[in-house]
């Protein structure tokens, strides 16, 4: 799953390790039967998918983002003892869902998984066990710097920042390259002659993330980066029974 870094409220001074450990609960599940080609599209229910989709809620403190591809399902045992998380050849029968989310107050987050197969009437009462890894932070900080086109990277907080070539979302816009632990970034603001540039997406590779903005008129840009300090990984256990009210 992609790291979902939604701008968070600044000024938070919470520690995910000081309070209670984050907890996962199942908040929604949907099961779809195989309809086959004989059922026309206009007859199929809105959003119908063959298999099952399970959505989970994480409650905690200082939740920043999910570690990419960190959901692990150890077992999903039906009430009659069958393993639902693996296909007949033993390979995983599930995948992480798209677009995990974190609330602005950093206390709630959600993610999902998808399973394939004829699961109608089979997942209710089943017990799912596994884990998901999240990034959690405490204090926040902010760094500022001035970038010039063609110049060497500038240190802003713990990051090396420069003006790069526009990425896939930028077209002929402005690309800001940030090298470092970009999972800790809360928000990046770019101004051109006092005018704030609108963001148009981002992409990443290795330890570098490229943020795309509207095309700048000037050759010098002011960049402000808000970020979490002392970001930590927390492995959150998953243990839920489908159809059972969260405790």
Asked if 159 and 47 sit in the same domain, the reply is: no
Which residues lie closer than 8 Å to 182 by C-beta, 6 or more apart? Answer: 159, 204, 207, 208, 209
Mean pLDDT taken over the chain: 87
Q: What is the pLDDT of residue 19?
A: 59
Q: Looking at the domain assignment, is residue 84 inside a domain?
A: yes
Quick one: average pLDDT of 67-85? Answer: 95
Report the 10 Å Cβ neighbour count for 193. 10
Question: Is the confidence at residue 6, as pLDDT, over 50?
Answer: no
Identify the DSSP state of 184: G
Domain that holds residue 204: 140-228
What's the confidence (pLDDT) of residue 246?
67
Domain match, 126 and 169 both: no
pLDDT per position as a tens digit, 145-199: 999 988 999 999 999 999 987 755 546 789 999 999 888 898 999 999 999 999 9
Q: Which domain CATH number covers 67?
A: 2.60.40
Number of structural domains found in the chain: 2
Is residue 4 one of the residues assigned to a domain? Answer: no
Q: Can you list the positions of beta strands (E) in the chain?
A: 23-32, 51-59, 63-66, 72-77, 94-96, 101-102, 108-115, 127-136, 140-148, 154-156, 159-164, 174-179, 185-192, 195-196, 199-205, 208-213, 220-228, 232-241
Same domain assignment for residues 125 and 150 = no
**58 found inside a domain:** yes
The answer to whether residues 102 and 192 belong to one domain is no
105 in a structural domain: yes
> Pick from 57, 100, 92: which is nearest to 76 by CA?
92
Q: Which of 128, 113, 109, 130 is nearest to 30 (CA)?
A: 113
Residue 104 lies in a domain: yes
pLDDT digits (tens, 9 = 90+) for 28-38: 999 999 988 88
Q: What is the pTM of this model?
A: 0.73
pLDDT, position 11: 35
One domain, residues 122 and 150: no
């Amino acid at each position: 799953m992609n790291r979902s870094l939604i701008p968070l409220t600044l000024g938070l001074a919470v520690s995910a390790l000081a309070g209670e450990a984050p907890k996962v609960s199942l908040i929604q599940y949907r099961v779809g039967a195989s309809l086959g080609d004989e059922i026309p599209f206009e007859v199929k229910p809105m959003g119908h998918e063959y298999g099952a989709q399970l959505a989970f809620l994480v409650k905690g403190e200082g939740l920043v983002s999910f570690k990419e591809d960190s959901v692990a399902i150890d077992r999903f045992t039906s009430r009659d003892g069958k393993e639902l998380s693996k296909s007949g050849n033993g390979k995983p029968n599930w995948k992480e869902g798209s677009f995990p989310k974190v609330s602005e107050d950093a206390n709630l987050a959600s993610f999902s998984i998808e399973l394939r197969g004829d699961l109608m009437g089979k997942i209710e009462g089943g017990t799912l066990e596994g884990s998901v890894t999240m990034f959690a932070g405490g204090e926040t900080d902010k760094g500022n710097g001035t970038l010039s086109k063609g110049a060497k990277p500038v240190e802003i907080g713990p990051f090396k920042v420069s003006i790069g070539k526009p990425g896939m979302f930028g077209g002929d816009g402005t690309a800001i390259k940030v090298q470092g632990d970009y999972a800790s970034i809360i928000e990046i603001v770019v101004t051109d002659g006092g005018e704030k540039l609108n963001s148009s997406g981002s992409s990443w590779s290795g330890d570098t993330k490229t943020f795309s903005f509207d095309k700048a008129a000037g050759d010098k840009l002011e960049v402000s980066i808000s970020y979490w300090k002392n970001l930590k990984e927390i492995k959150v256990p998953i243990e839920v029974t489908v159809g059972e009210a969260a405790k």
